[in-house]
Structure 1
Amino acid sequence: MKKLHNKVAVIIGGNSGIGLATAKLFAQQGAKVAITGRNKKTIDEAVFEVANGTIGLVSDISDLNSIDSTYGTVKDTFGKIDVLVVNAGILIAAPFADYTEEMFDQTNDINFKGVFFSIQKALPHLNDGASVIITASTVVHKGFVSTAAYSASKAAVRSLARTLSAELLDRNIRVNVLSPGPIDTPIFSRGATEEQANATKTHLASGIPAKRLGTSEEIAEGFLYLASDDSKFMIGGELLLDGGAATL
């Protein structure tokens, strides 16, 4: 039997890269999938790619009213949620001395505040025994220059998985994080030429013991593990998929 047969899965930030690969895999494994993102064009394209009755919703994780509307639509379409993947996030890199309040607030509003309230507002819509998965990062374990706010926000959600798991034990709801290292996604091409994007990827790969970037499909397999009963003994934990970047 498929691992997510007849399960309802919501992927916040599911319209590209890791989120899109995860949506495809979940659908292949029998889930009824809803994806969200801020760009309607990429959402529509993603829904077409994923197929299998997937729905796409324009939603901004930093807008709490938008989050409420998203869950309402999912409830009306599919019913209660069995798997919630909170994958939305941004990286605004800059030296600590130059970091502005605006940059900090934008990072925090999406990477921490948005995650916090996305889960809080999902609680009435989650089935008992649901799996909640937050995308963290290898930066939780290692210091990287110019990522102070981003790294702190990812450390915050790593902590959140522990405390929420403790609070939700009576409902058997598990909250875990998946921490990817550098992954080959379309983000490298945004605002850069193909040559610049390839140079960035080569530079990042050189610092990873595996000597390559990860793929979105590899990370999607990690999300499937955390979403399915394969990981039912994993509570408040972390799955680190970073090619050895943080540990070797």
Structure 2
Amino acid sequence: MSTMNGKTALVTGASSGIGRAIARRFADDGARVYLTGRRADELEAAAKDMGPNAIALPCDVSQAADLDRVMDVIRSDGRRLDTVVANAGLGDGSFLSDVTEEQFDHVFGVNTKGSLLTVQKSLPLLTGSASVILLASSTIHQGADRMGVYSASKAAVRSLGRTWAAELAPRGVRVNVITPGPIATPAIERMADGLGLSIQDLHGAMAANVPLRRMGRPEEVAALAAFLAGSESSFITGAEHFVDGGQVQV
């Protein structure tokens, strides 16, 4: 029997990459999964690919009204949430001298505010043993060029995870943070275009800093998310869990 049979999950930023892999893993494990993303066509295609238990709900997580509509749909379906994955995020790399207010507001609006709103709006629907999973980034432990705003937004997410774990523990709700390292996703491909590099060259450069000497796969992050969503992680909360090939550990 699949470990998530009969469970309900919400995964934001599920159109592609890590979010899509997590949503697929949950669906494969028997959960009803609500997927959100800003690109409606891509989101619908992802949900269709996952089967009838995947429901696409276009949404911008930086907008409270959008998330209210998502929660209304879940509520109207007679569902409560066993798992919430606040994955939606983006990066906009710039050196300090080039950062604009608009860039800062945009990145923090999606990555940090979006995570806060996602969890906040989910609170009335969370079951008594729900698992909340936040996505950070290994860049919060490093000082990579042009990653200052992105890294700060994700460091804030990790900090919020600690606070929420304490606040929600009396309800039996667990909150954990997954911190991926270099993962081969469409976002990395877009980064390669912006840097004028081939995908292979960028992957090679990123993998060179990983002890395992390769890029990670979205499915490897999804495997950890499945563990954190399940009962086998019932005594784990407030923690940061790395999927980085040892990048910031060794």
Taking structure 2 as the reference length, the TM-score comes to 0.95
Residues 142/195 of structure 1: CA separation in 2 closer, same or farther (3 Å cut) = closer
Q: Which runs of structure 2 are paired with 1:74-223 in the superposition (5 Å)?
A: 74-190=74-190, 192=193, 196-223=198-225
- The 5 Å alignment of 1:52-91 reads 52-91=52-91
Structure 1 Cα separation of the partners of residues 70 and 116 of structure 2? 15
Q: Identify which of 200, 215, 238 aligns with 1:236.
A: 238
Given that 2:31 and 2:53 are in contact with CA atoms closer than 8 Å, whether structure 1 keeps it comes out as no
How far apart, CA to CA, are the structure 2 residues paired with 1:114 and 1:189? 23
Cα separation, 1, equivalents of 2:219 and 2:78:
25
Once the two structures are TM-superposed, the CA of residue 146 in structure 1 deviates from its matched residue by 1.2
Whole-angstrom distance in 1 between the partners of 2:123 and 2:77 = 17
Matched residues in 2 for 1:26 and 1:155: separation? 26
Which structure 1 segments of 5+ residues have no match?
none
* Equivalent-residue separation in structure 1 for 2:214 and 2:120 (angstroms): 37
- SS of the aligned residue for 1:79 comes to coil
How far did residue 245 of structure 1 move?
0.9
Number of residue pairs matched by the alignment: 248
C-alpha deviation, 1:52, in angstroms: 3.6
Shift of 1:145: 1.5
TM (norm. structure 1) is 0.96
* Structure 2 CA distance for aligned equivalents of residues 51 and 189 of structure 1: 27
CA distance in 2, matches of 1:195, 1:95: 18
Q: Alpha carbons of 1:188 and 1:31: their partners in 2 closer, same or farther (altered >3 Å)?
A: same
Offset of residue 185 of structure 1: 0.9
Q: Render the CA deviation track for 1:28-77: whole Å, top value 9, x for unaligned.
A: 11111110000111011101111142100100011110011011111222
- Give identity over the alignment, percent: 38
Quote the offset at 1:78 in angstroms: 4.9
Which consecutive residues of structure 2, in runs of 5 or more, have no partner in the other structure? none
SS of equivalent residue, structure 2 residue 41: helix
